[in-house]
Structure 1
Amino acid sequence: MRRLVLPIAALVALSGCKEQKAEAPPPVRPVLTTTVALEEARTFGPFAGTVQPRYESQLGFRIGGRIVARDVFVGDQVAKGTRLAALDPTVQQFALVRARADVADAQAQVKNASAAEGRQRILFENNSAVTQAQLDGAVANRDTADARLAQAKAALQKATDELGYATLTAGFDGVVTAWSAEVGQVVPPGQVVVTMARPDVREAVVDIPDDLIGEMPKDIEFTVRLQEVPEVTARARVREIGPLAEASTRTRRVRMSLIDPPDGFRLGNTVTVAFERPVSPRFPVPSTALVEDDGHAAVWVVAPDGRTINRREVTILEREEGRAFVGTGLKAGEKVAVAGVHGFTEGQAVRLPETDL
């Protein structure tokens, strides 16, 4: 009897071990998640840029010479008519003296020719020994003297102007942005010496990737923020889009006219440019979070206690590269699995990482 009881007891114990092994809970699986957030506006940008003047002039002397004076420096505010630089005027002063002497000589010649022509005319009218040819010669001499006087006066005006060209003045109220020559340097006519900008008309200049130019909304106002003080903002409209992309960066230069910018928008400030437009409420999630079967989309949502995961049906409003926008089925703040979504089971135990993606 004892021999029969022992095998039976062993079988009962063995079957109990198998049941315990079958009922062991599945292992806790680590899950990579992201926290969803409600999006009610789409942002185009932001793009970094700078504040630049719309009007900028490169100024130079209209004559050549050696620079002897530089009166302003980069960053100086100058008023219209302010002297910026000057050339050595010695040569122009000598030319002016000579031109004045030529005018005086021509005036004397005109006076002499006019007197001679008057005497010849009186004698001719009194039937004296003056022929018509002699009178015509006197008239021609007077006309020649008048022409030479006009020529001398034009040369005097030119010499006066060239003396004035030895001084470079500001043609408008502006700010000096660059210098291209120094005192003692000999410059030819037209060489750029100083660059001036008009600070009253300012623009935001940004470089936007070529593939995003087509997505840029038309006829809208962008928001421009100072990077160092984001609270200071201004509105801007697109004025010009570069026709060609830069070869190395594949970006196109976009110039935006600032609309009534505050004083904080100074030339050279770094800014960010962006545009927000309202959209229907949505939750952006990575494309890897979606599980799609027979045209239906779902995601795996981690329970609030962070211990289990459950499948939930969602509706997709829009897709773009690497992302999908969920319309219904999610709530802000929920955690969604973004990797290994085809290996989960309903109610499976999971372990969250220390940080989300």
Structure 2
Amino acid sequence: MRRALVLLSTAAVVCALAGCNAEGDATKAKTVPRPVLSVVVKPQEDQDVGFAGTIQPRFQTDRGFRVLGRLISRQVDIGDVVAPGQALAQIDPQLLDLTVRGSEADLAKAQAQLANASAAEARISTLFAKQIANQADLDTAKQSLEAASAGVKQAQASLDKAREQRGYAALTADEAGVVTSVNAEVGQMVTAGQKVMTIARTDIREAVVDIPDATARSLRQGEPFAIRLQADPSVTATGKLREIGPQADAATRTRRVKITLDQSVDAFRLGATVTVLPTMPAAAQAVFDIPAAALLERDGKTFVWLLDPGTGTVRSFAVEVAERINGKARIVGQLTAGARIVVAGVNSLSEGQSVKFDEGAAR
């Protein structure tokens, strides 16, 4: 019995020691700083703060027929330049021609009735003057004449309408422009108002750019911009800010900005890719190019981990990316020169976590 008690006591001591060791290991694991790679951010010297965009028309219209019909011809295609009054497409005018001829016949009939009513009214007036016809006959003749006159006016209006609709069989260009899309083919039935093609005016062009929300908030309408053609940076133009999107995109946190070109340059064709740069000194901000691996995407927002060398801990900091090029992310403003950020394993860190880093590395 005594031996059994000794064995139980020994086992209890061993279990207690094992539990203490496990708890100590867990505590030790929690307090061990995690090794991370970090860099010290530095602003780019003499770096233009540019944003990529495309050239778009300020005005473009969807063209379609005003009446129902079958498309029998289309004279233009995508990319064709059109002049005011140029024929674009046509529908089968047979039904419209029949309507015109029917209206012409109705007008001829109404005119014949008017002539008959006019002659009858003249005869009754003569007989009334000789006191052969009574007042009732004269009133009836005058009423018939007025009705016949109104019938002629109605028939003439119907004929004018039919001829106007006959003109709708041909689709023409209202202004000079270029065809940017075609939505109907020959032989297809098109309804009134259905889009057949889209024509963009080329006289007023705009650079359409998506700019980070933080930068867009500092812009004002009318601010000047320099516009550079990406295919040939030597080709430049100037423009003024016309419109700023009222709301930032939920996914990219950018606003759409439209900059109207001061002059129409042929090299800036519709759809051409351009770079726009603010020309006002007040818009200049520090530009930081950081590794794209340093970005943490969470809940539709972008963060970086700022490392505090004094405490050896990290904290998340929200940023907005202006551009991503060749594994680099461009941050305009927001960061501070000399700040240290984590560039590897950003998805495995937590707020306030202790880390270990080499102060001499990646400076």
TM-score (norm 2): 0.67
Matched, 1:132 2:145: no
CA–CA distance in 2 between the matches of 1:320 and 1:272?
19
* Residue of structure 2 equivalent to 1:197: 200
* Residue of structure 2 equivalent to 1:155: 158
* Residue of structure 1 equivalent to 2:246: 243
1:219–1:153 distance in 2 versus 1, CA, 3 Å: closer
* Residue of structure 2 equivalent to 1:17: none
Letter in 2 for 1:67: L
* Residue of structure 1 equivalent to 2:88: 84
2:337 equivalent among 295, 314, 324: 324
1:277–1:123 distance in 2 versus 1, CA, 3 Å: closer
SS of corresponding position for 1:324 = coil
SS of corresponding position for 2:337 = strand
1:170–1:288 distance in 2 versus 1, CA, 3 Å: closer
- CA offset at residue 252 of structure 1? 1.7
1:225 equivalent among 212, 225, 228: 228
SS of corresponding position for 2:98 = helix
* Residue of structure 2 equivalent to 1:53: 57
Counterparts of 1:66-215 in structure 2 under 5 Å? 66-128=70-132, 130-215=133-218
> Is the 8 Å Cα contact of residues 82 and 177 (structure 2) preserved in structure 1?
yes
CA–CA distance in 1 between the matches of 2:208 and 2:275?
10
- CA offset at residue 244 of structure 1? 2.1
> Is the 8 Å Cα contact of residues 99 and 159 (structure 1) preserved in structure 2?
yes
CA–CA distance in 2 between the matches of 1:289 and 1:247?
28
* Residue of structure 2 equivalent to 1:256: 259
Which structure has the greater CA radius of gyration? 1
Counterparts of 1:299-310 in structure 2 under 5 Å? none
CA–CA distance in 2 between the matches of 1:194 and 1:283?
44
- CA offset at residue 289 of structure 1? 11
SS of corresponding position for 1:171 = coil
1:168–1:106 distance in 2 versus 1, CA, 3 Å: same
Percentage of pairs with the same residue: 43
CA displacement 1:190-232 (0-9 Å, x = unmatched):
0111100110110000111223221336642111111111111
CA–CA distance in 1 between the matches of 2:244 and 2:202?
22
SS of corresponding position for 2:208 = strand
Aligned-residue CA RMSD (Å)? 3.3
Letter in 1 for 2:122: G
1:162–1:285 distance in 2 versus 1, CA, 3 Å: closer
> Is the 8 Å Cα contact of residues 51 and 276 (structure 2) preserved in structure 1?
yes
- CA offset at residue 37 of structure 1? 8.2
CA displacement 1:11-34 (0-9 Å, x = unmatched):
xxxxxxxxxxxxxxxxxxxxx998
> Is the 8 Å Cα contact of residues 285 and 325 (structure 1) preserved in structure 2?
no
CA–CA distance in 1 between the matches of 2:256 and 2:217?
14
Letter in 2 for 1:220: E
> Is the 8 Å Cα contact of residues 40 and 338 (structure 2) preserved in structure 1?
no
CA–CA distance in 2 between the matches of 1:217 and 1:163?
50
CA displacement 1:211-268 (0-9 Å, x = unmatched):
3221336642111111111111111111011222233323221111001142211111
- CA offset at residue 53 of structure 1? 0.6
Gaps in structure 1 of 5+ consecutive residues: 1-31, 293-318, 327-338, 345-352
SS of corresponding position for 2:50 = strand
Greater share of strand residues, 1 or 2? 1
> Is the 8 Å Cα contact of residues 57 and 200 (structure 2) preserved in structure 1?
yes
Matched, 1:65 2:65: no
TM-score (norm 1): 0.68
1:217–1:98 distance in 2 versus 1, CA, 3 Å: closer
CA displacement 1:296-331 (0-9 Å, x = unmatched):
xxxxxxxxxxxxxxxxxxxxxxx95443289xxxxx
1:236–1:108 distance in 2 versus 1, CA, 3 Å: same
CA–CA distance in 1 between the matches of 2:178 and 2:289?
50
Letter in 1 for 2:119: A
Letter in 1 for 2:108: A
CA–CA distance in 2 between the matches of 1:166 and 1:263?
34
SS of corresponding position for 2:120 = helix
1:160–1:220 distance in 2 versus 1, CA, 3 Å: same
- CA offset at residue 95 of structure 1? 0.6
How many residue pairs end up in the alignment?
273
SS of corresponding position for 1:50 = strand
> Is the 8 Å Cα contact of residues 69 and 85 (structure 1) preserved in structure 2?
yes
- CA offset at residue 148 of structure 1? 0.7
